[in-house]
Every structure is written in structure tokens, then in C-alpha cells.
Structure 1
Amino acid sequence: MWLEIVLASVLGFVIYWFVSKDKEETLPLEDGWWGPGLRPAAPEDESIRPFKVETSDEEINDLHQRIEKFRLTPPLEDSRFHYGFNTNHLKKIVSYWRNTFDWRKQVEILNKYPHFKTKIEGLDIHFVHVKPPQLPSGRAAKPLLMVHGWPGSFYEFYKIIPLLTDPKNHGLSDEHVFEVICPSIPGYGFSEASSKKGLNSVATARIFYKLMLRLGFQEFYLQGGDWGSLICTNIAQMVPRHVKGLHLNMALIFRNIYTLTPLLGRCFGRLWGYTERDIELIYPFKKIFYFVMAEGGYMLIQSTKPDTVGCALNDSPVGLAAYILEKFSTWTNAEFRDLEDGGLERKFSLDDLLTVVMLYWTTGCITSSQRFYKENMGRGMISSNQYRIKAYVPTGFAAFPCDSLHCPERWVKFKYPKLISYSYIARGGHFAALEEPELLAQDIRKFVGLLERQ
């Protein structure tokens, strides 16, 4: 007991020291060139070009031939998803993929929103740009940049976009109407991959900031989860005066003294400002270590040797599907590991899941998407300035209960001092926009409402 008190006192002093030396800093707004070869002397073409997702008989036939030749290892008895993707269930998904799934139909769905490309820092950057079909008289739409993560894509936002751009026709108030921009991270989907080492979240943040300026937005809102949360945070750290508000459903908080406080045990949780709900989601603390051990293998591979595993995944559509969809099982709810089918269709349709896979397969981007881990985590992630510098913009946070790691409000507020909205969401996991679009949309609207009433 006395040892815990001493530890708590020391930790309190350290926290006070960190807070007392706090000062506002920003990330430097630099420049880069990620295309092949040397940067041309001529100015970059800043035109914005319409883009359309397309497919062909050749592409579909090649996919079917590869699927028909897949080889699977039988699963262990009663292994469910404890060893990874259960291959008995994978057979069912592959059968649906080969015989029922209609990629041409999904391409039509992808094209229901306007797509564009523009060249930034030597790369063709793809984005979806959806304007509201109607606006209340005398009102302007609120520009909102929404950024995905891995193994996601711009498609994650397709169900939430109409709730934000056309709320009145979806049973919501038209008090807040958004103009939504969903870019693909370089090396993901239809955005060109870097030809050079070093394209990390900070470089991506700068590229997306330039994209928003090119679209004519001097001020805008940001929203992100997974890598998107880091990229959006970097934009806020880089150009805070251009960011009206930042909404996150995940936060990567490493250099934060509060992250050590759970080690003191449940009884000291309230001393550090944890609510009953925080304690429910954090403890027993050993589950965090279990998550790191059970779910962290992919991260170590991708942050060290992404090209090696990428060779296998880019050659086998079935292997790619198993690798990606396993994350849509366990990251949606860790308890889905105990189910024979991984609980995949409890939250998503097979068409949605296979569309996610197809965006990686048809573009051949799995390797370049995995390199993003190497660029961010394999180069001194913890020591990087972006994890030390705070984000001094109005912030809202949605804590989905089944996401990988829970971030209590105290943790978030340390990194985001202007936190004005923190919500415990009733249900949902890592892929919030695709899994629970209504709940995420409600929280974004709540945050913007609180911000505008200040």
C-alpha cells in the first residue's frame, strides 16, 4: 500500500513537471518530392482531373483463375479464429467471391460519388469529393477531410457520407451540412505510391493540407481513425490556424505520462481522473498485453520487412483476403476470435468486405500500403517530434468500446489540450465509419455543434 502511494506521488510530480513546461509548438511545414527520379524544374501540374473506377473481363478472369487454384491448410479442431483466419470459413467466403460476388456492380457503387486525381509532390493523389445536394438558405457547407487507415480505404466512408452531406433526407437535422473529401493515402488504393523512402504520416499530412488548399479551403474540419487519426493530428500540429476542428475515433498517444498510470491498479484509477467506464474498458490491464501479443505480429512484420510478406499477398487473392479480413474480425470485436466464422457478417456484408479486399487486389497496393508502417514505426517512432508536440486545435473524441486500445479522456486531453467533446460510444470497434456510421456521424455533429456554440 505504501509503495503504491509513493509511486502515485512520484508520478504526480512528473505529470506536474510535464504540464508546467508545456508550450505551444508546431510541426514545420516543409516540402518533398516522392515521384521517380529528380524533381523536375518545371512547376507541378496542379490541375484536378476527374477519375472513374473501372474494371475489365481480363481483370475478373485473372482473379477467378487465381481463386480456383487456391490451396488451404485445414484448421485445427475447435481452433475458431484463435490461430488466425479459420480456413473452413475462408472456403465459404472464397466460394461466394468466385460464384456470387459481382465486382462490376461494386464498381458502379464506387462510382456513385465523384472521384478525382491531382498531382502533389510528384504523386497522383486520389480523392472522393462529395458536395451536399442542397443547402439551407444562406448557409455554407462545412468542409470535412476524412482519412482512412490500414487495411481500410476511402470506401469505409461510403455509408457515413450521406449522413453528413444530406442529413435532412436521412432523418437528421440540417443544422450541420458537410462537404466531404476522402483522399486515399499515398500507396493505398488509387493514390500513387512513393518511389522514395521516408513518406510517413507527416509527409502525408502536408500532401493532404495542400490538397485542401488546392480545393479552395483555407479552413476545414478533420476526422480520422487508425492512420487517419495520426495524419489528421499532424495536419493540426502543422497548420493549426487552418483547422477549425479535429474529430478522432482513435488516438496514438505514446509520449504521455498518463499512459503509465494503469500500472498503479484499479484502486488508484479514480485518483487519475478515470471514470467507471474507463476502468471497465482498461482493466484487467493484462488484456492490453494480451492484445499486443495476440494482435501485434502484423505490425512487427510490416514495420520491418513489408516487401517480403507483400510478395505473397500481392500474388494470392485468397491469401490477401485472409490477411485483411482477419483484421475486420478481431479489430471489430476481440471476442469474435471465439467464433467459427469470426463474426464477420455480424457487422459487415460480404459485398462490403470483398470490396475492401478488391481495392487492394486490383490496384496491387498491399505492399506499398504496408510500407507506411516501416516509414512511421521503423524510423524512431517514439522519438519523433510529432509524438511530443501537442495539437492545439478544438478536438472531439469518440471512444468506441471494442476498439483495440481504450484512451481515457485524461490521456486524450494531455495530447489535445483543447478537447471539448469526449464521448463513450454505445457500441462499435475499430472500423467505426463502416461499422457504425450513424453513431460516428452523430458524434461528429455533436462536436461541431459544441464548437460553434462556444
Structure 2
Amino acid sequence: MPSAATTSVRILIGALTVIIGVTYKNYRDLSAPGKRPDLDSNEYWGPKLQGSYKENKAVLPYDISVAPELIADLKTQLDRPLKLQEPLEGVGFEYGFNANELQKVVKYWRESYLTKWNEHEQFLKKFKHFQTEIQGLKIHFIHVKPVKAEGKKVLPLLLLHGWPGSVREFYELLPLLTTGNDKSDYVFEVIAPSLPGYGWSQSASRPGFGAAQVSVVMRNLMLRLGFNKFLIQGGDWGSIIGSNLAALFPDNVLGYHSNMCGNSSPLANIRMLLSSFLPSFYIDSQYAHFYKGLGHLFKNLIMEEMGYAHIQATKPDTIGSALAHNPVGLAAYIFEKFSTWTNEEYKSLPDGGLTKRFSYDQLLDNIMVYYVTNSITTSVRLYAETMNSTQMGLNLESVHIHAPVGCARFLHELAHTPDSVLANKYRNLVHSTHYNEGGHFPAFEVPQQLYEDFASFVKKAFA
């Protein structure tokens, strides 16, 4: 008859075996690829129809000219006395957009920028604009073909912006992509669409049009233009939409590059948590200063920077209505992001550091895209349509992506995800870089660096 000690050892071994087995099964289940959802590639998102729908597949030049009376009305609104409160003593942007800086912005907008509106409008027209109908939505896009393609391979590129950006972010990057350099064998034919509900692209007329559905529209746009296989580059929403597209339509994606790679699958979230407590197991020590742990993430990102996302994910039409007919408020709301998202330390500066990396003209160009198209409300609806249980139920974050992937990290981005966390989703991560300058808007802020990183990724992807 076995002794009590022997029995206890057997029980302990049995319990450990069960625990190890359950743990292994749970890990295997968490790391297993998610099932690719079957989304309707022809789902109609336009206004309610009286009869059957027949898509107009014509691709036509699009005139982005602004009605003179709209500009005249904007001037009238900016001429009104500002009803601003004096900022607290010694405060920069810690409480949001500093009223003293806002007065400077409005004065420049009224007295300098708008007096030269014809020049700015011509600048926005420097690339060719087009429009076509996709799934009931009129989609606007810029199409730029290579100018120096001799001896180089031409690859199609879908270039995706986010919020509060627009296609204007890419005006400094586009010439680099379409001209190339002596170090690269590739040059790119670029399609840069306004996301549905942004700028000159029509918004969906009913609920349910989230980032997954936008990716379907973006893929259909590329197919419409004759590109069955193409590259993707994006940040912010462009990163999420591009990743979704690569997950949903692997046969169409040559490669995916992002300046905001992320992964929020269950296993990735566990690894992200562990990386805060055991960073040496998950993070390359030479880049440790990029990854600041959960405490910083909670304080600086969730508590200080994500209030806008909560509003836009729950009450988009309220904030949209407050901004749509209030150009000063619109400028304050959007300009603020180009301060703190470019470098969180800028919030301690009285001018928010806005002109350290951008000019007022650049920032106002972007504001004007929202203002003249009245698209602020429809743009922020994307948060409500994506940050919900239906979209999360698609489980796209767990769908493996096998196309070549490149991730560029610019130091002052709001948060970074280490390769060890990305690996469960991006199964072919061929390019991973870290840069000690730049923030959330690299195409706008450091276009040369972003171009060189993208070109380097493409070289690796097709080596």
C-alpha cells in the first residue's frame, strides 16, 4: 500500500499534468489562426434606393474646386470676435489648445492663408484627382504615376491616411514614391484615396460601415483601376484598414507596410502585458526607450489622449455638429492632435510646438479639406462603426497575414508594439525599424525618412 507521501506526489504530478495540458491547449487555441470572415464584396452602402442598384463603374476626373461663396462665408465667420478664455498662468497645451496660440492661428488663417486661397487651391490640385462609384459610394482618390520609371520595376501602391489627416498628408511623400532614388530598383504608381466619409469621398448612409467594410471598398477600388495585386502603406486608420485588407484578401496583397503596426488579438494582449513586467524577454534592449510599459500607456495614452476617441466612438454626431459650422473650433480640435501626437513633450509649450515640424499653411490645408467638404461628422463616425462588439466579433486581429510586412516605428508615436507581440499575426515580418525622431504623422513630418523606410521594406520583400 503506497504511503501518504507517495500518494501526495502522485496527486501533485497529476495536477501539474492537467495544468500543463490545459495551459498548452489554451495557448494553442489562442495562437491558432482566426477564421477569415466572409464579407460581402458587393454590399451596398449608398442612400436608400427606390429600385434596383446598378453600379456606375466609370472612373472620371474630379474637380475639387471650392465655391467662392463658401470661402467668403468662412472669411465672415473668422472676422467675428473670438470668445476665448485666457489660458491659466504657466499653462501650454496641458488643458488642450492654448487660447493665445488659437488667436494667432485664426489671425493667420484670416489675414494670410485665405487671402491667398487661389494659390492654396491650385496647390491641392497639383496631383490628378478622380472619382468612381464603389458599392454605392462615390470614392475620391489621387492617382500619381511614376515620372522616372526607366530601368525600374513599377509597383502599384494603395496609400491610406487616417484621422485627423487627409490625402493632404501625402503631398510631400508622393513625389518621392513616384520618382524613386538610385538606391532602389522600384518606383511606385500611387493610389491615395480619401477614406469613405473623409474629404471628397461619400459616407455610408446606414450603420455598420466599419474599418473591415472600408477595407472591402479599398480593395474594390484597386480592382476597378486594374490592380489585382498591390502594396499597402498606412498609419492610424490606414494601418487598421490596410491590415484588415491584407487579412481578408491575401491573394491581392503584395506586401503591407505601416508606421503604426499593432495587434490586439487575445494572445497579443497577453504578450503585451507580460512585456511590461518581463521586458527583456520581449523587447530588444537597444530599443527599450520606445516601449514605456503599461503605466505610461495608461497615464499618457488612455487617460490623457484617448478622450476624443471615446466621444467619437459613442457620440460622433454630437461632436461633429459642434465642429461642422464652427471653423475656429474645428481648427482647435484638429490642430491639437498635430501638437501632442507629434511629440507629447510639446504640450508643455505655449504654442504646442506646432511650427517645430509643420507650417501653418500645411496644417490649414488639412483643415480646409474637412471644412470645405463638411466631412468632420462623417469622418468621426468611423470610430463608432469600428469600436463596437460587431466589428470585434469579426476577430480580424487573429487572422494571420502571410504577405511580407514592414513596420516602421517613429519614437514619438503614441504607443509601439514590439515584434514579439506582432509575430502571432504578421507571420512574415521581414522589416522592423526604429527611428529616434518623428511621431504620428511621418508622411507629413519626415516624408524622406518614411519613403526610405518603405523602399527598404520593398527591397527586402522582393529579395
Q: What TM-score results when the alignment is normalised by the length of structure 1?
A: 0.92
Report how far residue 35 of structure 1 moved. Answer: 1.0
In 2, the alpha carbon distance for the partners of 1:53 and 1:163 equals: 23
- Can you list the C-alpha shifts for 1:225-246, whole angstroms capped at 9, x where unaligned? 1000111111111110111100
Q: Give the corresponding residue for 1:166.
A: 179
Give yes or no for the alignment of 1:428 onto 2:441.
no
Deviations 1:373-409 (A, max 9, x none): 0000134554432122222211111011110111111
Residues 221 and 243, structure 1, Cα contact 8 Å, conserved in 2: yes
Equivalent position SS for 1:100: helix
Q: CA deviation at 1:41?
A: 2.3
Equivalent in the alignment of 1:103: 117
Q: Distance in 2 between matches of 1:116 and 1:202?
A: 23
The answer (yes or no) to whether the contact 2:94–2:348 under 8 Å persists in 1 is yes
User: C-alpha distance in 1, partners of 2:268/2:357?
Assistant: 33
Deviation at 1:40, TM superposition (A): 4.6
Determine the C-alpha separation between the residues in 2 that align with 1:65 and 1:54.
20
SS of residue matched to 2:462: helix
2:225 maps to which residue? Answer: 215
Mapped contact 2:212–2:244 kept (Cα < 8 A): yes
CA contact (8 A) 1:49 1:118 kept: yes
1:224 aligns with 2:248: no
Which position in structure 2 is the counterpart of 1:276?
Answer: 285
2:103 equivalent among 88, 91, 95: 91
The size of the alignment, in residue pairs, is 440
Deviation per CA, 1:323-360, whole angstroms, max 9, x where unpaired? Answer: 00000100111111111100110111110000111111
State whether structure 2 residue 400 is matched by structure 1 residue 387.
no
The equivalent of 1:179 in structure 2 is: 189
* Structure 2 counterparts to residues 217-256 of structure 1, below 5 A: 217-256=227-266
Per the TM alignment, residue 55 of structure 1 is displaced from its structure 2 partner at its CA by 2.1
SS of the equivalent of 1:251 reads: coil
Greater CA drift, 30-39 or 298-307 = 30-39
Partner of 2:423: 413
Letter in 1 for 2:353: G
CA offsets per residue over residues 151-185 of structure 1, 9 Å max, x none? Answer: 011111111111110124xxx43511000100011
Alignment partner, residue 209 of structure 2: 199
Alignment of 1:38-437 (within 5 A): 38=49, 40-69=51-80, 70-101=82-113, 102-137=116-151, 139-168=152-181, 172-261=182-271, 263-264=273-274, 268-271=278-281, 273-283=282-292, 285-290=294-299, 291-437=301-447
Counterpart Cα distance in 1 of 2:416 and 2:173: 23
- Unaligned ranges ≥5, structure 1: 1-8
**Post-superposition offset of 1:23:** 3.7
**Matched-pair contact (CA < 8 Å) for 1:220–1:242:** yes
Going from structure 1 to structure 2, the CA distance change for 1:308 and 1:133 (only over 3 Å counts) comes to same
Deviation at 1:262, TM superposition (A): 5.4
Task: State whether residues 254 and 382 of structure 1, in contact with CA within 8 Å, keep that contact through their aligned partners in structure 2.
Answer: no
The CA deviation at 1:43 is 2.5
User: What is the root-mean-square deviation in Å for CA atoms of aligned residues?
Assistant: 2.2
TM-score norm. by structure 2 comes to 0.90
> Whole-Å Cα distance in 2 between the matches of residues 308 and 174 of structure 1?
48
CA contact (8 A) 1:129 1:181 kept: yes
Distance across 2 between alignment mates of 1:244 and 1:385: 23
Residues 187 and 193, structure 1, Cα contact 8 Å, conserved in 2: yes
Contact kept in structure 2, 1:35 and 1:195, CA below 8 Å? yes
